[in-house]
Structure 1
Amino acid sequence: MDKDTAAMYETEKATLYHADFLNIADGFADGSIDLVFTDPPFELAGGGMKNGKLNYENGEIFRNCGFSTKYIAFNRWIPEIYRILKNERYFYVMTNDRNLFSIHKACTDCNFKFCELLVLDKKMTVPSTYYPKRAEFILMYRKGSYRKGHFAGSTVIEERIPRGKEKRHPTEKPVAMIEHLIRCSTQENEVCLDPFMGSCSTGEACIKLNRRFIGVEIESRWFRTSQNRIKQL
C-alpha cells in the first residue's frame, strides 16, 4: 500500500494515516523526517500481565485492549526509520527492560549511533516477579553526525503516567515528557513522525510546540481516538 492510498486525516499541522507502517513506509522519501519518537508494539513479558489482564497499581485493569498487532520484529521497521530520517537527526524509541537489548541491536545494525539511555520515572509501580517496576526506558539514537540541540534536564524524566478518565490508551505516555524531547531535539516547523501513534500523544505534543506531525496507526479504534484528539486541539 502506498501512503497516498491509505486512509488519511489531515489538518494544517498533522497528517494521520490509518495503515500498517510497514505497508506505507515506501511512500516516505529518503531523508524526509526531522525526528522520530515512538512507543512500538511488543509483547509484555511477565511483569504487569496476569491472566491476560494489564494491571496497574491504582486498580485500573484493561482487558482485551484491542491490539491485533502485539509485536512487529524490530529489524523489520527500524531500518525504514533510518532511511527516512534526515542526517544529523534523532530517533527516540520507548522500551521496557525485556526489549531494550533487542531494540538496541536492531538500531546499531542499521548504523544508528547510540546517544543516551533515558529513564521515565512514571510515579507508579507495576507488579513484577521480582522488584515492582516504576520505570520505562527511552533509547536515543542519531543518524550521522551530532546536531546541536537544546538538551536540558537530566537522563531521568519524572512525569506522571495518564490515569483514569484522562487516559485514552492503555499504554499512553505523558505528553509533557514527549514535549520535552521534541523541544530539545527539533526546531519549529520541523517534521516529527510516530509510526505507531496509538492515541496520538506525540501529535498533541507536536502541535503544542508548532511542529509538523505525521502519525501512523493500524488499529481502527486508536486511529479514531487520534482523529478526535487532533480535532479537539
Structure 2
Amino acid sequence: MQEGGGRLETGKEAAAVYKTEKATLYYADFLEIAGSMEDNSVDMVFTDPPFELAGGGMKNGKLNYEGGEIFRNYGFSTKNIPFTEWIPEIYRILKSRRYFYVMTNDRNIFSIHKACVDCNFKFCELLVLDKKMTVPSTYYPKRAEFILMYRKGNYRKSHFLGSTVIEERMPRGKEKRHPTEKPVSMIEHLVLCSTLENEVCFDPFMGSGSTGEACIRADRRFIGVEIEDKWFTVSQNRIMQL
C-alpha cells in the first residue's frame, strides 16, 4: 500500500475503505452506507449505474475486456437496483447549486429521468457520447450513449465548454479494465466544466475507477463506492498508480 500513499481500513459497515490524499474508496453497497454520508456533502456526482445491457434484440450479445473474459447481460449481481432507490440519496448528499451526471442507454433514459424529477432534480441537458464505433442491433446499429445532466437547486455559473455532443474513443484492448468502461478524458471534461479545484466528486457505482482517475487528474477530490470485490480491487490499484 505504500506505493500509492494510501491505506486500507476495515470496519463493520464496509468491508474496506481505501484512502489516499485525494481519494476515498468504499468496498460496500451504496444503499447500505448512504445513510452515513452527510446531507449536502459532495460537489458533483458522475456515475454509470448498473442496469441490464440493451442488446438491441440480440440474444447472445457479449463484450470482451482485459483478461480475455466474456461479459454477458447477466454478468453483474447489482444490475437490478431500482433508480428510485438510489437517486433520492444522490439528491440528498449533493450540495445545492451542484450537478449530477448519469450515463444511460436509450432503454433506460425515461425511467432515470422520471426518478430524477420526482425527487426535485432540475433537468439541464441531454449530452450525447459519440463512441466513434457502432454496436450491432436489430434495428439501426448503435453508435451513441447518453448522459443526463441535472442540477440541485438554482443554476451555478460554470465554464461549460464544447457542445452537447462529446466525441471520444472508447477504451479498447489492454487499456480497457471494465466491460462498460467510459473514457477518462470525457469524465475529466465534465468534472472540469462543473467543479472547482479541490471540490469533491462522487461515484456510487465506480466500477474500475474511471471517475476517480478523472477527478485526480483534474485536481479534485474523489469518493467512490463499489460492491463487487473484483472491481473494487481494480479501482484501488488504479488509484495507487496515479
- Common fold: TM-score over 0.5: yes
Alignment partner of 1:63 is 2:71: yes
1:19 maps onto 2:28 in alignment = yes
Which consecutive unaligned segments of at least 5 residues does structure 1 have? none
RMSD: 1.7
Provide the identity percentage: 78
- Label 1:39 to 1:24 Cα distance change in 2 as closer, same or farther (>3 A): same
- Give the conservation status (yes or no) of the 8 Å contact 2:54–2:105: no
Correspondence 1:174 to 2:183: yes
Provide the residue aligned with 1:154 in structure 2: 163
1:145 equivalent to 2:146? Answer no
TM-score (norm 1): 0.93
Q: Between Structure 1 and Structure 2, how many residues are aligned?
A: 227
Q: Is the partner of 2:115 in helix, strand or coil?
A: helix
**Contact 2:192-2:218 within 8 A present in 1 as well:** yes
Amino acid across the alignment from 1:136? E
Asked if 1 retains the 8 angstrom alpha-carbon contact of 2:63 and 2:71, the reply is no
Aligned position for 1:203:
212
Residue number among 182, 204, 219 corresponding to 2:228 in the alignment: 219
Task: Decide which of 97, 101, 117 is 2:106's aligned counterpart.
Answer: 97
Change (3 A) 1:9 1:116: same
The answer on 1:35 being equivalent to 2:82 is no
Displaced runs of 4 or more, over 4 A: none
Residue 62 of structure 2 aligns to a residue whose secondary structure is strand
SS of equivalent residue, structure 1 residue 118: strand
Report the CA distance between 1:229 and its aligned residue. Answer: 0.1
The 8 Å contact of residues 38 and 196 in structure 1, kept in 2 or not, is answered as yes
Deviation string 1:127-172 (CA, Å, 9 cap, x unpaired) is 1110000000000000000000110100000000100010000000
- Residues 17-47 of structure 1: CA deviation (Å, up to 9, x unaligned): 0001000000110000000000000012332
What is the SS of the residue equivalent to 1:45?
A: coil
Secondary structure at the aligned position of 1:223 is classed as helix
- Residues 56-81 of structure 1 show CA distances to partners (whole Å, capped at 9, x for unaligned) of 7xxx9823585221121000000000
Cross-structure match for 2:5: none
Alignment-derived partner of residue 54 in structure 1: 62
The TM-score normalised by the length of structure 2 is 0.90
Amino acid at match of 1:87: S
Q: Secondary structure at the match of 2:49?
A: coil
Q: Which residue identity does 1:188 align to in structure 2?
A: E
- Structure 2, unmatched stretches of 5+, are 1-10
Aligned to 1:5: 13
User: 3-state SS of the aligned residue for 2:205?
Assistant: coil
Specify the SS of the correspondent of 1:78: helix
In structure 2, do the counterparts of structure 1 residues 4 and 214 end up closer, same or farther at CA, with 3 Å as the change threshold?
Answer: farther
